[in-house]
Amino acid sequence: MILRRFICYNASSTVSSIAPSPKKKPLIFLGSPQVSVTVLEALFNASAAPNSSFEVAGIVTQPPSRRDRGRKVLPSPVAQYALDKGLPSDLIFSPEKAGDEAFLSALRELQPELCITAAYGNILPTKFLKIPLHGTVNIHPSLLPLYRGAAPVQRALQDGVPETGVSLAFTVRKLDAGPVIASKRFQVDDLIKAPELLSFLFSEGSKLLIRELPSIFDGSAKSKAAPQDDSKATLAPKIAPDEAWLSFDEEAFVLHNKVRAFAGWPGTRAKVVVLDDKSGQQNVLELKIMSTRVCKDLEIQDGGQDYVTFKKGSLVFPCGGGTALEVLEVQLPGKKAINAAAFCKHFDPTFVVNL
């Protein structure tokens, strides 16, 4: 009894002499591909700062899938990063749908004050959106209300826009239509491809998010967030694999923008006929077009509208409207990408004809 009272006395005196540290606000991150890792890394780093008011309490991501050459079943890049950071596996959720009751029940137990999404890849139902105290905030790589949807960067490049950006917006049930907390604009280089631009915009979006987190947690972000003008909205629908084919009846700048937009996935493809100038034999080749630029000093000779020529390290494809596209890098099925000079050397002395 004496020992028991002594222990109780010392415990109480210790508690009263040391002020308890404030509990950090639980935040849930939702993302799946590699570009999402940039945002998650920024959140982990910010949460580790001495003055941080939040912690990453859980991760929501797409289920493991088969990918890479071996077609192994692998966790999403976000899940793998979280595991590498030491987040317990029972705090990494990968529901087939974000409306699954078992998942929502587990999420409620974590009592998140905020959810952050960055290329998660699943539709969030109303019963999900009601859980976090301060709502759900999305990093969207466009200047909303422009390019709402699954492929904002790809569709913007396909349209050849001179300017784009990244937006931080509250998530509502209508697709990418929530009030915008903040956004940042950037000029678009006419040679940049979708993977590079996507990575850049999510990197900048993570900085925007960290800057705005205090206002989101204290509630002031909701009062300053600007409603979107739906009359100015444009859509960025998901890319279909059959969009990958190039038609050289179109003008060169249209094809160049498509190559930039679809780089990574699904890529852009074209079929050409290779003629042997000695035997007259024809072979059809399917080429993946990797890098291009618009030809600025085109001189097509009479009768040469269908013929691809080699000029200054590029394959020059005649296109619609009297324009031409310089193809700088190609890839044959099952082979590594090679530059135009290596391609021409391999097929010399043949002529390549646009199909």
Check: CB of residue 91 under 8 Å from CB of residue 60. Answer: no
Residues 167-190 have pLDDT tens digits of 999 999 999 999 999 999 999 999
The CA-based dihedral angle spanning residues 143, 149, 153, 157, taken in that order and rounded to the nearest 10 degrees: -100
Task: Tell me the pLDDT of the chain averaged across its residues.
Answer: 90
pLDDT of residue 74: 93
In a domain, 102, yes or no: yes
In a domain, 10, yes or no: no
162 shares its domain with 254: no
Q: Which long-range contacts (C-beta less than 8 Å, at least 24 apart) are formed by 277-286?
A: 277/349, 277/350, 277/351, 278/349, 284/355, 285/332, 286/332, 286/333
For 76-102, b/e burial (b = at least 16 CB within 10 A) is bbbbbbbeeeebeeeebbbbeebeeee
Residues 212-260 have pLDDT tens digits of 999 999 999 999 999 999 999 999 999 999 999 999 999 999 999 999 9
The backbone torsions φ and ψ at residue 191, rounded to the nearest 5 degrees and listed phi first, read -115, -10
Note if the pTM is more than 0.85: yes
Question: Which of 115, 41, 116, 50 lies closest to 85, judged by CA?
Answer: 41
216 shares its domain with 329: no
Range in 94-108, 218-232, 236-250, 337-351 with the lowest mean pLDDT: 337-351
Task: Give me 291's structure tokens.
Answer: 């890098």
216 shares its domain with 89: yes
Helix (H/G/I), strand (E/B), else coil: 134: coil
pLDDT of residue 8: 37
205 shares its domain with 330: no
Residue 6 burial (C-beta neighbours within 10 Å; 0-12, 13-18, 19+)? exposed
Per the document, the length of the chain is: 355
Residues 274-305 have pLDDT tens digits of 887 777 788 888 999 999 999 987 655 544 56
Q: How confident is the model at residue 309 (pLDDT cuts 50, 70, 90)?
A: confident
pLDDT of residue 10: 39
In a domain, 8, yes or no: no
273 shares its domain with 293: yes
Report the number of distinct structural domains present in the chain: 2
Q: How confident is the model at residue 21 (pLDDT cuts 50, 70, 90)?
A: low
Residue 234 burial (C-beta neighbours within 10 Å; 0-12, 13-18, 19+)? middle
CATH number, domain of 195, equals 3.40.50.170
Helix (H/G/I), strand (E/B), else coil: 198: helix
With a pLDDT cut of 90, the percent of the chain lying above it is 77
Check: CB of residue 76 under 8 Å from CB of residue 64. Answer: yes
Residues 43-58 have pLDDT tens digits of 999 999 999 999 999 9
Q: Say if residue 99's pLDDT is above 90.
A: yes
| Rounded (10°) angle between helices 34-47 and 194-217 | 30
CATH number, domain of 255, equals 3.10.25.10
Residue after which a domain boundary falls, among 188, 217, 236: 236
175 shares its domain with 286: no
274 shares its domain with 216: no
Taking the C-alpha atoms of residue 8 and residue 347, their distance in angstroms, rounded to an integer, is: 87
- Residue 338 belongs to domain spanning: 241-352
pLDDT of residue 347: 72
164 shares its domain with 204: yes
Q: Say if residue 208's pLDDT is above 70.
A: yes
232 shares its domain with 148: yes
Residue after which a domain boundary falls, among 203, 236, 269: 236
pLDDT of residue 277: 72
Q: Say if residue 124's pLDDT is above 90.
A: yes
Residue after which a domain boundary falls, among 236, 254, 278: 236
